[in-house]
Amino acid sequence: MVANVMVGLPSDTPSRSDRGDPTDEAAARPEPVLGAPEASTHENCQVLMSDPSPELGPPPFETTDRDRYWIEQLNHLQANMMTVMEASNANLVGLIETNAKEMLTLISKLDVDTRNQSSLIDLQIQTLQKNVEAANAVARQSIAEGTSARSEAQLMGASMLELIGQNFHNLSQVMGERLRDLSQEFDVREQRILETLMTQRLHAPPRHSPDAGATPNPQPRQPIPLENAFALLRELAPLNFDAYRSCLAEGTRSYEGLPSESCSTERHPQGRQFAGFLRPYLAGHVLDIGCGPQTVPSYLAHWPTNQIAGVDPISSAEDHPFLFVPGVGEFLPFDDGSFQTVVSGTTLDHYYLLDVGLREAFRVLAPGGYFVAWITEFEGAPPYDPYLREMEPYDSEHMYHIDRRWFLPLMQQTGFEVAEVIAFHQPFRYLFMSFQKPPGVRHSQAACE
């Protein structure tokens, strides 16, 4: 968005030979006119600059006045370039305000596109820098080819042009910062709307009321002892099992150190929001995979305990008033189709064999039932595969984190249909997700194998 400014001197400026300097006869040549730059356009943006060089008549002077003449020309040039810069900056400020209004309109409509605007601003700044460098290169080339006095004037013109570019760069940075602020404000407002929606869902009548006379929870098969389950996990994927056990131990220590901060407690604000998200999907018998040692997870506090079952490797039956089986999500000791709802609250990134665990959740879910999950999303986290190579844990408590770009296709491969996905951006990037097991389907293809 920088106009192509050619810096030169008026064509009617006398040559050295006209001023009585016969030794420079060969150097006399027509000189370019300092004309008005063309309008420069970028998409719908346009910057116009006025003619920086009014006509200057031939100076009536003797040879002895030559120095005074060039000083006057430099003063003219400096004043004209300042006029150019002031007009350009005024246009750029208006341009930035216009673009900011347009950005605000887009922010109210689009989430993803809004986040891409910062990258667009960076690209525009890079283009501007290239244009300024090119203009300076042209100016410096003419400086190298010109006379010393003319070179001094051109150098000043090139410096002023560079100053214009720097001012535009600074203004573009301000625009980018404003855009990022607007994007953050949009995230905050979007989150408030979602929080309000979750609160309304929490206090609205449930889609499926608990059945006080419902049959007791499905009784588990003969449970696999926890150490035997770990032995099976090692057998299925030996390369990374020790790293997984280390992460599990560290996560257990962290949980025991801050039990009141657990996502399943009433004190956790996102726990209440997840309760609102989960409420429309609750029906019949509910299995909570990774329920933790809390007496009753806050998101299930209003569901009858005789219709809740839980599985977790770091808890015991004495901790809960509902049916509890110590174990891991990869080996669920229940018959096919036993539950109308399966819940996973911030536990999916603690599985060792995620694919096996998802197939098990699909298996024990009744046709038409829902699998409801809450995770912390890490954008750019790579797909998880513990089978083929040794891998470094993502952090001290997690072998991996989840990015929906590979997780949602994995759920579909397992047999689920995506029902709802809601993203919260603060304080972390939480995802609330629901998936339905299609009616009439009892097993995923992978589970049948």
Closest-CA residue to 96 (of 116, 125, 136): 125
Q: Could you say which of 198, 229, 257 is where a domain stops? A: 198
Q: Is the per-residue pLDDT at 62 higher than 90?
A: no
Give residue 74's identity as a one-letter amino acid code. Answer: L
Same domain? For 386 and 430 the reply is yes
Q: Look over the chain and give the mean of its residue pLDDT values, rounded to a whole number.
A: 74
pLDDT, position 180: 76
Mean pLDDT over residues 31-56, rounded? Answer: 40
Mean pLDDT over residues 128-152, rounded? Answer: 62
Q: Is the per-residue pLDDT at 156 higher than 70?
A: no
Same domain? For 239 and 152 the reply is no
Q: Is the per-residue pLDDT at 401 higher than 90?
A: yes
Continuous segment of H or E residues that includes residue 154 = helix 148-203
Same domain? For 94 and 234 the reply is no
pLDDT, position 320: 92
Residue 226 lies in a domain: yes
pLDDT, position 178: 74
Is 324 in contact with 309 (CB distance < 8 Å)?
yes
Task: Give the separation between CA 149 and CA 131, rounded to whole angstroms.
Answer: 26
Residue 13 lies in a domain: no
Q: Could you say which of 146, 165, 198 is where a domain stops? A: 198
pLDDT, position 25: 45
Residue 253: pLDDT band (50, 70, 90) is confident
Residue 11 lies in a domain: no
Residue 327 lies in a domain: yes
Q: Residue written as tokens 């910057």?
A: 47
Q: Which of 8-12, 14-18, 221-225, 416-420 is most confident?
A: 416-420
Task: Give the separation between CA 347 and CA 260, rounded to whole angstroms.
Answer: 17
How many Cβ atoms sit within 10 Å of the Cβ of residue 146?
19
Same domain? For 184 and 48 the reply is yes
Same domain? For 226 and 315 the reply is yes
Q: Tell me the Ramachandran region of residue 430: left when phi exceeds 0, alpha when psi lies from -120 to 50, beta otherwise.
A: beta
Q: Which CATH number fits the domain that encloses residue 414?
A: 3.40.50.150
Residue 205 lies in a domain: no
Task: Give the separation between CA 74 and CA 154, rounded to whole angstroms.
Answer: 9
Q: Is the per-residue pLDDT at 88 higher than 60?
A: no
Q: Maximum CA pair distance of the chain?
A: 116
Q: Is the per-residue pLDDT at 248 higher than 80?
A: yes
Residue 15 lies in a domain: no
Q: Pick 37 or 373 by higher pLDDT.
A: 373
Q: Is the per-residue pLDDT at 233 higher than 90?
A: yes
pLDDT, position 38: 42
Q: Is the per-residue pLDDT at 11 higher than 90?
A: no
Residue 222 lies in a domain: yes
Mean pLDDT over residues 367-374, rounded? Answer: 96
Domain that holds residue 317: 218-448
Same domain? For 432 and 301 the reply is yes
Percentage of the chain modeled with pLDDT above 70? 57
Same domain? For 265 and 156 the reply is no
Same domain? For 127 and 161 the reply is yes
Same domain? For 182 and 238 the reply is no
pLDDT, position 86: 57
Compute and round to an integer the Cα radius of gyration of the chain.
Answer: 36
CA distances 375 to 173, 345, 349, 424, Å, are: 35, 7, 7, 11
pLDDT, position 32: 43
Q: Pick 72 or 203 by higher pLDDT.
A: 203
Same domain? For 144 and 232 the reply is no
Mean pLDDT over residues 117-130, rounded? Answer: 63
197-219 confidence digits (pLDDT tens):
888 888 777 777 776 556 777 88
Same domain? For 325 and 267 the reply is yes
Question: What total of structural domains would you count in the chain?
Answer: 2
Beta-bridge mates of residue 311: 289, 325
Residue 1 lies in a domain: no
304-352 confidence digits (pLDDT tens):
999 999 999 988 888 899 999 999 999 999 999 999 999 999 999 999 9
Q: Could you say which of 165, 198, 231 is where a domain stops? A: 198
Same domain? For 181 and 309 the reply is no
pLDDT, position 310: 95
Among the ranges given (6-15, 134-143, 197-206, 371-380), the one the predictor scored with the smallest mean pLDDT:
6-15
Q: Which of 60-69, 239-248, 308-317 is most confident?
A: 239-248
259-268 confidence digits (pLDDT tens):
555 565 566 6
3-state DSSP assignment of residue 409: helix
